Amino acid sequence: MTILIYLTLGLLTSLLFPPYFFLPLGFIIFPFLCLVLDLNKKNISNLNIFKNFLFFGFGFFISYLFWVKNPFFVFEETKFFFLAFLLLIILLSLILGLVFTIIFKLGKNIPIIFLIPFMFTISEYIISVFFYGFPWFTFSLVVSSNEYLLFSLKSFGTLISSYLIIQIFCLPYIFFKTLNLKKEIRYLSFIITLPIIFLMISHFYSKETNLKTNTIDLEIFQLNFKNNDQSLTPKKTLNTIIDNIQESTADMLIFGENNFPYLIDDLELKILKDSLKENQVLIIGATRFENNKYYNSLININSSNVTYFDKKILVPFGEFLPFRDTLTFLESIAGPHNYSNGKEERIINLSNNISFIPVICYEIVFYWKLLNKLNHKSNFIVNITNDFWFGKYIGPYQHLYLTKIRAAEFNKPIIRVSNNGISAVIDNNGNIIKNTQLNNTEKFKHKLFLQEKNNFVNEHLILKIYFFIIFLLITIYYLRKNV
């Protein structure tokens, strides 16, 4: 019965995330978890904690990541292997159960209202950083549909926002406890209020200019090419691209990931250069070949020059196959060759001191790997992707909302161009200004105003250190108190 309860709680927790956003559920799920764990924390065994949160994780991830099975159905030869996606679900559930067991054992004497958010946040961090590819799991997503709540991402960053969101969901539990109620409220107020005051002061003294220094007339092309469309020849694809280029009068033309249909073994690309008008810039995704290596690339072209950025963070089982000699049946998804990690700096410079940060596909979820000293002052971000692999329902929407929170966190507009959707212009507050519909062939124009905006990524790092120290001190205090 207990296992069924935790499995159900995990399933319900996934409904807090896009595309559902049933946020009131959070004020039921997390106080209930606080109650159950608080009542049993002195008697519950480590094995039961592990088992309960293993099933909580399974319920959550099987619902949240159900779309991961979709790539297996793109090609006939892989559809019978779709249950392999359960291995990922089981792995993530095991990690969640193990992290909860260790933290609960070490922090058993810490007030449960603090311990629950801490356990979830540490699990999110470990899955994101140490297990390749899943910053996809972040509680910051639950506020990504609300333009006012997205401010928390700008102020606190992804990880601390996740902690604060869960902490707020736990608040109703305070009113079910009479013992030490005032003490816990004081602790809670101290932990949450101090960083808020710090950030308010930091933002107040930050120098930010909102002058519109430049504008770029963009045109976004969502071509909606199907990866498994046998009738779509490279020649037809290229003709479609050339026709769209020649009809456009925009300053910057942006196509999706890997839209260019031929392998690029040099960067001449004369046919594309000749299609451009003077001062036009073309951005398009392509596969590049150099020194016997393949790269997933963003190509930046004008009438006289070509620059590029090669994808640095590759999708396992999508862009490279571990144990390729054994897992040959997955070559329909990953292709016959492994892609290589790019070495170019993550910045592309345009004229008039304008630059943008190139991001390819799900690189956008790796919030700690995108900004650096070289590019943090860039004017905007261009994210090209192909969400055809993600299915028709949950996956593409999660990917879009992950992009929204990155725009708010970095305080930079993002131009998102997906081969099949959802393409969008997202402002520096994470609000969608204009977008296409999923699986439609569409194009639209947009005038992008470039503003000088500060971001607070350094403050986000300070906050992480602050919260770590606070929880370390709380743990030491309660351990000594109960010796």
- In 3D space, the residue among 319, 300, 303, 323 whose CA is nearest the CA of residue 311 turns out to be 319
Residue 194 structure tokens? 């101090």
| Average pLDDT value for residue range 181-206 | 62
Tell me the two tokens of residue 129.
Answer: 């950083």
3-state secondary structure of 468: helix
What string of H, E and C letters represents the secondary structure of 40-103?
Answer: HCCCCCHHHHHHHHHHHHHHHHHHHCHHHHHHHHCCHHHHHHHHHHHHHHHHHHHHHHHHHHHH
With a CB cutoff of 8 Å and minimum separation 6, the contacts of 416 are 383, 385, 400, 403, 422, 423, 424, 425, 426
Mean pLDDT in residue range 268-279 = 87
Mean pLDDT of 240-259: 94
What class does CATH assign to 212-455? alpha beta
Residue whose C-alpha is closest to residue 415's, from 147, 247, 222, 235: 222
Q: What is the DSSP letter of 316?
A: B
Average pLDDT, rounded, for the chain: 85
Distances (CA, A) of 35 to 51, 174, 177, 440, 477: 18, 10, 9, 47, 23
Residue-wise pLDDT tens digits, 16-32: 999 999 999 999 999 99
The domain limits of the chain are 2-206+460-481, 212-455
The 10s digit of each residue's pLDDT in 339-354 is 899 988 999 999 888 9
Please say if the pLDDT value at position 194 is more than 70: no
- DSSP conformation class of 314: P
Per-residue model confidence (pLDDT) at position 190: 66
Q: Which residue would you say has higher pLDDT here, 207 or 203?
A: 203
Using pLDDT thresholds of 50, 70 and 90, give the confidence band for residue 154.
confident
In terms of DSSP H, where are the helices of 318-456?
A: 331-334, 394-410
Mean pLDDT on 329-338: 64
Range of 76-85, 128-137, 187-196, 212-221 with top mean pLDDT: 212-221
Give the residue, 408 or 329, on which the prediction is more confident: 408
Look up residue 403 and give its amino acid. Answer: T
In this predicted structure, the answer to whether residue 439 has a pLDDT above a threshold of 60 is yes
| DSSP code, position 261 | -
CA dist 454 and 209 (Å) reads 8
Stretch among 5-14, 149-158, 175-184, 203-212 having the lowest mean pLDDT: 203-212
Q: In this model, does residue 181 exceed pLDDT 60?
A: no
Return the pLDDT at 478. 66
Main-chain dihedrals φ then ψ at residue 339, nearest 5 degrees: -75, 155
Tens digit of pLDDT for each residue in 252-267? Answer: 999 999 999 998 887 7
Q: Identify whether 415 is preceded by a cis peptide bond (ω within 30 of 0).
A: no
289-329: pLDDT as tens digits: 998 899 999 999 988 889 999 999 888 777 777 665 556 65
Write the single-letter amino acid at 205. Answer: Y
Please report which helix (H) or strand (E) contains residue 299, including its range: strand 293-301
